[in-house]
Amino acid sequence: MDKLLISGGVRLDGEIRIAGAKNSALPILAATLLTRDPVQVCNLPHLYDITTMIELLGCMGVQPVIDEKLNVEVDSSTIKHFSAPYELVKTMRASILVLGPLLAHYGEAEVALPGGCAIGSRPVNLHISALEAMGADIKVEDGYIKASVVNKLKGAHIFMDLVTVTGTENVMMAATLATGETIIENAAREPEVVDLANCLVAMGAKIKGQGTDTIVIQGVEKLHGCSYSVMPDRIETGTYLIAAAATRGHIKVKDTQPNILEAVLSKLEQAGADIKVGENWIELDMHNERPKSVSLRTAPYPAFPTDMQAQFTALNAIAAGTGSITETVFENRFMHVHEMNRMGASIQVEGNTVIVTGVESLNGAPVMATDLRASASLIIAGLVGKNETIVDRIYHIDRGYECIEEKLQLLGAKIKRLPS
């Protein structure tokens, strides 16, 4: 199992390019199942989860073609099977996203119950009940969701009990080919949901309200092919900005989208960062000053993202003052805290809140990643730590960050991968 070796204490300085958003690319790849025409998906990040989704399409008989620029063309007219096997689904929860498209286009789907990061309960029952409201017959047996529909799915008025990104995406995709109108209330407002909606519209879908909590979809007879470029990854953007802030550095991130990062940029300014933005770039300069502690509370978009919580915990660990971080989205998302405390951090967990009292510096130590964003936070802790830090189980990080050690090396970090 690969590890990362980090020699800390270097201020990050330089420019990097941000990759396409994983959480946008995965549903867009699933959406290619809604048409028999070729769909070209551009700006895909080079990530393990993307490879898994392409493999998943491949095992159904779809043959994606990848060009020299790593754009993928998917032609699902060759589909032979409507099943997503456990071997692939267990590594990636987003596999559930093929359920809605398969059901809407082909009238049947069999998807293994998903795996992925161990960060608490993320129930699929909301997906199932919404599709049942649209006329699907669904059974959960032998570890699989087995779904079918006679003729076509029907439009329905669906209220989501919880704000769920993948739930909203699954229903929205299914509704594009359903008969009549579907209204999704309490829909997720995340930019990645908007990106998927925009791709579906480019394929001929009729969708309004994306980016609000009420999305209205008029079903159409069929969708057609298109070429679509995935939006930049706001979580990758935020992670590098926080890493630069923690190391008192200066960074410019390019090919990003500042207008969807307002909650994160506001907290970085509270931490003492000098931030400038352009149409597709963000520049952060700490002027070699120690960051100040910030307090925050995670919540669905447009509030502060849960996927940035662990990275801010690392920033607070070496900041001046005491900050509290409250997690309201997932109940098991503080597994990085124990590892940071082993590096000399002063963090206390109180229910769904961590109280972080900043220390002057952390000490390098062997640490273990427990989920994707926790991995990123431990790398940030290693960058500010004295001596060497080894981060183990970094397969988590490879699921969500493209070439992380190479990008950090471009910024001056002393980091290298140790092959297993």
Q: Which stretches does DSSP call E strand in 219-333?
A: 227-229, 250-254, 274-277, 281-285, 296-297, 322-326
| 218 contacts 206 by C-beta, under 8 angstroms | yes
Q: How far apart are CA 242 and CA 258, in angstroms?
A: 14
Smallest CA-to-CA distance from 193 within 179, 207, 204 is with 207
Q: How far apart are CA 74 and CA 97, in angstroms?
A: 16
| 49 contacts 22 by C-beta, under 8 angstroms | yes
Bridging pattern class, strands 322-326 and 296-297: parallel
| 201 contacts 207 by C-beta, under 8 angstroms | yes
CA max distance for the chain: 65
Count other Cβ atoms within 10 Å, centred on residue 245: 29
Question: Can you say whether residue 412 is alpha, beta or left, with left for phi > 0 and alpha for psi between -120 and 50 degrees?
Answer: left
Catalytic residue among 117, 199, 226, 403: 117
**Annotation says 117 is catalytic:** yes
Smallest CA-to-CA distance from 115 within 144, 142, 86, 141 is with 86
| Structure letter (DSSP) for residue 359 | -
Bridging pattern class, strands 227-229 and 274-277: unpaired
Q: How far apart are CA 90 and CA 245, in angstroms?
A: 35
Q: How far apart are CA 44 and CA 195, in angstroms?
A: 13
Q: Quick one: CA dihedral 373, 385, 261, 320, positive or negative? A: positive
- Burial of residue 261, with CB atoms counted within 10 A of its CB: 0-12 exposed, 13-18 middle, 19 or more buried: buried
Mapping DSSP to helix (H, G, I), strand (E, B) and coil, where does residue 33 land?
helix
Mapping DSSP to helix (H, G, I), strand (E, B) and coil, where does residue 41 land?
strand
Q: Residue 129 contacts by C-beta under 8 Å, 6 or more apart in sequence?
A: none
Catalytic site residues?
117
